[in-house]
Structure 1
Amino acid sequence: MTKSQNVLITGVSTGIGYELVKIFVEKGYNVFGSVRKQADADRLSGELGEHFHPMIFDLTDFEAIENAAKWLEGEIGSEGLGCLVNNAGIAVGGPFVDLKIEDFRQQFEVNVFGLIKVTQAFLPLLGARENHSTAPGKIMQISSVSGRMGMPFVSPYVGSKHAVEGITESLRKELLVFGIDVVLIEPGPIKTPIWKKSMDPLFDKFKNSLYLPIMKKSHEKFMGPSIENALSAEKAAEIIFKEFEKKRSSTRKVIIAQKFKNWTLPRLLPTRIVDKFLGKALGLLK
């Protein structure tokens, strides 16, 4: 069976999603990318050419997602999708004790329930149906190293990525019957606008929190340097595309700068030792 050259990527206005679209288009794929604003759709169409097709929907608008799936079925029909990249997401942060339940709800509505709805809506085009005429597609979930290793002051984001990891573990096994592969992509800090959009206003929002001095220290000692030394979105996209091209992709792909220091070593050490190190470094422990 032939492999479909159609690809759907969510959240393509900036960052990893945008860089992925550029690579797929350059490699000859027909790319459908979701954005939330008409202005972004127009800008990207002008920049990326005739092989890019914008789709406007928000991950919290389930009716719009269903309508987008129906529209795409009409556009590509029996050609199906070769890949779905669930990239769109947000990052909500702050001290757990000061966060409102609405903060957690917003985080999960986008990163978890939105991802679930998109996946369900487009699964038939990936091959989850009888008599699908092209080779089964592939699903790539853009998760995070936070899905397996949590840091302080980002508990909503960490929780959402843990949820994505668990759901994907089950989904990958269930889709074996259709031959659809599901891959977890786990980036560490990447130089993308998501952190600036979500982290910059935190100090003002939690200016009366007892955690404010510790949050500032955390940003100064860890978050700031991590982002400064992080991989670019372009490099991350190149790694993801190479993983997509593999006939047998990894079930999980960690993408992080200085991998031994930032990923392997903390996971080798006992959890309590890592907690104690962070606690002392941030002033959470005397």
Structure 2
Amino acid sequence: MAKSKNILITGASTGIGYDLAKIFVANGYAVYGSVRKQKDADRLSADLGENFKPLIFDVTDYDAVDKAAADLAKEIGDAGLAGLVNNAGIAVGGPFMDMSIDEFKYQFDVNVFGLIKVTQAFLPLLGARENAPFDPGKIVQISSVAGRHGMPFMAPYSGSKHALEGITESLRKELLLFGIDVILIEPGPIKTPIWNKGASELVEEKFKGSIFYPALIKFQTKFVAKAVKNAWTSDRAAKIIFDAFEAKRSKTRYLIVPQKFMNWTVPRLMPTRTVDKFIGKAIGLLK
């Protein structure tokens, strides 16, 4: 069977998605990148050249996802996809007690249900069918350390990534039937526009009347700002993800955390309640 050199990356307009598209194009892949706006499609096509092919859809627009999958099937025929990188995502933040159900739903619509829909729609192009004429592809799920370690005021985001982790554990086993591998990428803080879309919500006007507002401000200044300052660049993270994808035998999980020992290993070795109290004391959640 032939090995495909086609790959689909969702959320390719900025951040990790953009840098991944750049790396894959440089390594001879035809990259199909999902974007939501025509102006982003035009910009990426100009930046990345003829081997980048935009697909315009929002992961929450299921009809558009189905149409993109059908159009791509017509275009690449029996060549198939070497991989699908589920990168599209948002971060919704704020105090659990003060957030509406609609805000939680929006977070899950993008990070969970949109991802499920995209995966289901493109699975046949990854080899999830009988007698596929190409080698089985690989699915890369861009999760987060937040999927295993929830910080205060990040319940919607952490919940969505925890859901993704559980889904991936099941999906990886199911897709053994077709030889399609599924791997999890768990980045810590990465310098991407998601901070502008999500972390800034922590100080929105609507939370000023919240009993949690003083702790929100401290959380932003003591944890979020520091994390962003020490974060890796998205191109550095993208290189690690590309190498993980290209590995002959990929690991099931890849942790991408700056200063891993202090930021991940030590907190994981400490009792959970000790970590809770440390964070609570630092931002004023302990009476």
The alignment yields a C-alpha RMSD, in angstroms, of 0.7
Q: Deviations over 1:110-154 (max 9, x none)?
A: 000000000000000000001111110000000000010000001
Partner in structure 2 of residue 96 of structure 1: 96
Residue 199 of structure 1 and its aligned partner are, at CA, apart by 2.0
Asked if 1:264 is matched to 2:265, the reply is yes
Using the alignment, how far apart are the partners of 2:179 and 2:97 within structure 1?
44
Residue 268 of structure 1 and its aligned partner are, at CA, apart by 1.1
Partner in structure 2 of residue 284 of structure 1: 285
Q: Deviations over 1:90-129 (max 9, x none)?
A: 0000000000000000000000000000000000000000
Mapped contact 2:172–2:182 kept (Cα < 8 A):
yes
Using the alignment, how far apart are the partners of 1:201 and 1:8 within structure 2?
30
Runs of 4+ in 1 over 4 A off after TM superposition: none
Residue 169 of structure 1 and its aligned partner are, at CA, apart by 0.2
Residue 205 of structure 1 and its aligned partner are, at CA, apart by 2.7
Report the identity percentage. 67
Asked if 1:145 is matched to 2:129, the reply is no
Mapped contact 2:199–2:224 kept (Cα < 8 A):
no
Count of residue correspondences: 286
Partner in structure 2 of residue 222 of structure 1: 223
Using the alignment, how far apart are the partners of 1:173 and 1:253 within structure 2?
18
Residue 207 of structure 1 and its aligned partner are, at CA, apart by 1.2
Using the alignment, how far apart are the partners of 1:219 and 1:246 within structure 2?
37
Q: Which amino acid aligns with 2:244?
A: E
TM-score, normalisation: structure 2: 0.98
Using the alignment, how far apart are the partners of 1:161 and 1:222 within structure 2?
19
Q: Which amino acid aligns with 1:129?
A: R
Partner in structure 2 of residue 25 of structure 1: 25
Q: Which amino acid aligns with 1:17?
A: G
Q: Which amino acid aligns with 1:56?
A: I
Using the alignment, how far apart are the partners of 1:201 and 1:174 within structure 2?
37
Partner in structure 2 of residue 112 of structure 1: 112
Q: Which amino acid aligns with 2:29?
A: Y
Residue 2 of structure 1 and its aligned partner are, at CA, apart by 2.5
Using the alignment, how far apart are the partners of 1:207 and 1:75 within structure 2?
51
Using the alignment, how far apart are the partners of 1:201 and 1:141 within structure 2?
25
Partner in structure 2 of residue 41 of structure 1: 41
Using the alignment, how far apart are the partners of 1:150 and 1:73 within structure 2?
39
Using the alignment, how far apart are the partners of 1:93 and 1:135 within structure 2?
40
Mapped contact 2:14–2:193 kept (Cα < 8 A):
yes
Mapped contact 2:11–2:34 kept (Cα < 8 A):
yes
TM-score, normalisation: structure 1: 0.99
Per mean C-alpha deviation after superposition, the further-off stretch among 200-209 and 116-125 is: 200-209
Q: Deviations over 1:24-43 (max 9, x none)?
A: 00001000000000010011
Using the alignment, how far apart are the partners of 1:2 and 1:63 within structure 2?
30
Q: Which amino acid aligns with 1:21?
A: A
Per mean C-alpha deviation after superposition, the further-off stretch among 203-212 and 237-246 is: 203-212
Partner-residue secondary structure (3-state), 1:200: helix
Mapped contact 2:12–2:34 kept (Cα < 8 A):
yes
Partner-residue secondary structure (3-state), 1:141: strand
Partner in structure 1 of residue 238 of structure 2: 237
Using the alignment, how far apart are the partners of 1:57 and 1:42 within structure 2?
14
Using the alignment, how far apart are the partners of 1:140 and 1:239 within structure 2?
12
Using the alignment, how far apart are the partners of 1:160 and 1:251 within structure 2?
19
Q: Which amino acid aligns with 1:270?
A: P
Mapped contact 2:143–2:161 kept (Cα < 8 A):
yes
Using the alignment, how far apart are the partners of 2:3 and 2:158 within structure 1?
35
Using the alignment, how far apart are the partners of 2:151 and 2:3 within structure 1?
40
Partner in structure 2 of residue 198 of structure 1: 198
Using the alignment, how far apart are the partners of 1:228 and 1:235 within structure 2?
15
Partner-residue secondary structure (3-state), 2:12: coil
Partner in structure 2 of residue 175 of structure 1: 175
Using the alignment, how far apart are the partners of 1:275 and 1:167 within structure 2?
27
Q: Which amino acid aligns with 1:22?
A: K
Using the alignment, how far apart are the partners of 1:241 and 1:264 within structure 2?
24
Q: Which amino acid aligns with 2:281?
A: K
Partner in structure 2 of residue 251 of structure 1: 252
Gaps of 5+ in 2: none
Gaps of 5+ in 1: none
